Structure 1
Amino acid sequence: MINSPLSKTAPRLACTFALALLLGTTAARAGEIHVYAAASLTDAVGELADDYSRAHPGVEVKPVFASSSTLAKQIDAGAPASIFISADRKWMDYLVQRKRVAADVPHDLLGNALVMIAPKGESFALRFDTGFKPADAFQGRLCMGDPEVVPAGIYGKEALTHLGWWPALQDRVVGADDVRAALAFVERGECAAGIVYSSDAQISDKVEIVGRFPEDSHTPIIYPAALLDGESGDARDFLRYLRTPTARAVFAHYGFTLLDR
């Protein structure tokens, strides 16, 4: 078992995870908007939350970042989230089925791409076809989100299975709690390769992209956003803000695809 690496992202994720647990036992206060967002959105939504709070005195946007699966389960357990932004439709549907989100409310906010990464200076040759043998391309472990529950890991397993690579690599996979944890493993050189979103690879100067998985090798990467049932006012305004040209420019800066749905 690998110990979780300490990196520039780990302390923030640890703090927000602890905050999520705390919020599960307290009620939201007036003027607070609790945005539960996928870990890959840490930088973009964190910046937008700060900008919005500064521009709206008396309103404080409090983001909580973790795996979409973790956040969805916390919301279902009663955490007072105002807005949920998932890294896939599966965990949004989970909350729709539990009537925490109305079925007609979620909208597709963003898209992303899936990439293979390696520690900086330790890239390797990779060809995305079924005849390629990835197990021979690198030595060591492959880090990705937990392929059973974390969206980035689910997309990654789909891609590896589509290419016929999963049987050869599955015993070398290290399933991380979320995509930023997988990125941190590779940054520290604890994994020789990793599967993360393009936006995650873009924010790190400690990894390099080995290749981009073909779009048809996995389910389209979609980030649906929704106002939680019973929320309105300030939260609704912030969700609307996330679709403005100003917010879209920030998302684009961090490597996300902009969707008009």
Structure 2
Amino acid sequence: MNHLKKIFTFFFIAISLIITGCQSDKDKEQKELTVSAAASLREALEEAGQKYMDDNPDVKIIYNFGGSGSLQQQIAQGAPVDLFISAAEDKYNQLIAKQMIDKNHSAHLLGNELVLIARKEKQNIESLDDLLKTDIKRIAIGTPETVPAGQYARQTFISTGLWSRLEPKIINTKDVRQVLSYVETENVDAGIVYKTDAIISDKIKMAPISGHDLHDPIIYPAGVVSSSQNVDEAIQFFEFLRSQEAMDIFKKYGFKAALD
């Protein structure tokens, strides 16, 4: 009996070691990709990324969402990032100029639209001109220097001749999602965000902003960071994001394809 117990114990330990070893090898082999991306991409990119991870269990994607200008500065200062997706070309091109983005794996990925938003119950806000009304006291936009949506909003106000009159009402935010949150919680009366941000909220209404010539084209460039320690995996994920499968996910969230 003792002999059988010893044999059973031996096999139990051996199998446990094999399983543990396999799990350890799996953990060791899994590569972590850090993706810095514009805050407006959160839901769409997380869904696309989950699809990719389901098909590629050896890859784990870690996200860093924020204003494109802040993300660009982090990369310029040496932050360990594998892939960068910006909501504006100027922030992205600063890294291109410094050869911090691999030009061979860089592309215009997506397009977007700017919209005016307010709480659904606010009947007095339907257009940009309505922002001049005296009862509209606070308007949120992303900080123009670091948030592309804020930059586009300021360009729009300047193009329409509204900037000097609206500037005292402007509340700057750290990213476009904070604009959405401020409007939802009635910390401000109105805001300017991307159409893709407005779509995800059931608390706000949106009004289109007519005239594409009012601001720079809204393009989301994406590219592999030159200092990436996971170049092959970063390139593979970059190519996936350009695929029709990923593009269908982005379009579901209101994005458009951007052609090079």
Encode CA deviations 1:156-202: one digit per residue, 9 max, x unaligned. Answer: 00001000010110010000000001110001011100000000000
Query: Compared with structure 1, are the counterparts of its residues 138 and 110 closer, same or farther at alpha carbon in structure 2 (3 Å cutoff)?
Result: farther
Structure 1 match to 2:185: 188
User: For residues 202-221 of structure 1, what are the structure 2 equivalents within 5 Å?
Assistant: 202-221=199-218
User: For residues 33-44 of structure 1, what are the structure 2 equivalents within 5 Å?
Assistant: 33-44=33-44
Paired AA for residue 197 in structure 1: Y
Structure 2 match to 1:113: 113
Q: Is 2:197 the counterpart of 1:200?
A: yes
> What is the rounded CA distance, in whole Å, between the counterparts of 1:49 and 1:208 in structure 2?
29
Report the TM-score, using the length of structure 1 for normalisation: 0.83
Encode CA deviations 1:217-255: one digit per residue, 9 max, x unaligned. Answer: 110100000111144211100000001111001100000
User: For residues 13-92 of structure 1, what are the structure 2 equivalents within 5 Å?
Assistant: 31-92=31-92
Encode CA deviations 1:7-48: one digit per residue, 9 max, x unaligned. Answer: xxxxxxxxxxxxxxxxxxxxxx96111111000000011111
Q: Is 2:209 the counterpart of 1:243?
A: no
Task: Find the residue that maps to 2:101 and give its secondary structure.
Answer: coil
- Determine if contact 2:103/2:223 at 8 Å carries over to the other structure: no
Query: Compared with structure 1, are the counterparts of its residues 123 and 87 closer, same or farther at alpha carbon in structure 2 (3 Å cutoff)?
Result: farther
Task: Find the residue that maps to 1:233 and give its secondary structure.
Answer: helix
CA shift at 1:53, angstroms? 1.1
Q: Is 2:152 the counterpart of 1:163?
A: no
Structure 1 match to 2:169: 172
Task: Find the residue that maps to 1:71 and give its secondary structure.
Answer: helix
Where do 5+ consecutive residues of structure 1 fail to align?
A: 1-28
CA shift at 1:98, angstroms? 2.5
> What is the rounded CA distance, in whole Å, between the counterparts of 1:143 and 1:183 in structure 2?
8
- Determine if contact 1:125/1:137 at 8 Å carries over to the other structure: no
CA shift at 1:89, angstroms? 0.5
> What is the rounded CA distance, in whole Å, between the counterparts of 1:226 and 1:123 in structure 2?
42
Query: Compared with structure 1, are the counterparts of its residues 201 and 240 closer, same or farther at alpha carbon in structure 2 (3 Å cutoff)?
Result: same
> What is the rounded CA distance, in whole Å, between the counterparts of 1:241 and 1:137 in structure 2?
49
Tell me which structure has the larger Cα radius of gyration. Answer: 2
Encode CA deviations 1:66-113: one digit per residue, 9 max, x unaligned. Answer: 111111111111111110000000110121222211456431100000
Paired AA for residue 112 in structure 1: N
CA shift at 1:138, angstroms? 5.0
> What is the rounded CA distance, in whole Å, between the counterparts of 1:201 and 1:127 in structure 2?
15
CA RMSD of aligned residues (A): 1.7
> What is the rounded CA distance, in whole Å, between the counterparts of 2:52 and 2:103 in structure 1?
27
Encode CA deviations 1:103-132: one digit per residue, 9 max, x unaligned. Answer: 56431100000000001221434446xxx4
Report the TM-score, using the length of structure 2 for normalisation: 0.83
Query: Compared with structure 1, are the counterparts of its residues 102 and 34 closer, same or farther at alpha carbon in structure 2 (3 Å cutoff)?
Result: same
Q: Is 2:136 the counterpart of 1:139?
A: yes
* 2:151 paired residue among 154, 159, 182: 154
> What is the rounded CA distance, in whole Å, between the counterparts of 1:31 and 1:258 in structure 2?
28
Paired AA for residue 79 in structure 1: A
- Determine if contact 1:87/1:224 at 8 Å carries over to the other structure: yes
Report how many residues are paired: 230
Paired AA for residue 194 in structure 1: G
Structure 2 match to 1:24: none
Structure 1 match to 2:17: none
Where do 5+ consecutive residues of structure 2 fail to align?
A: 1-28
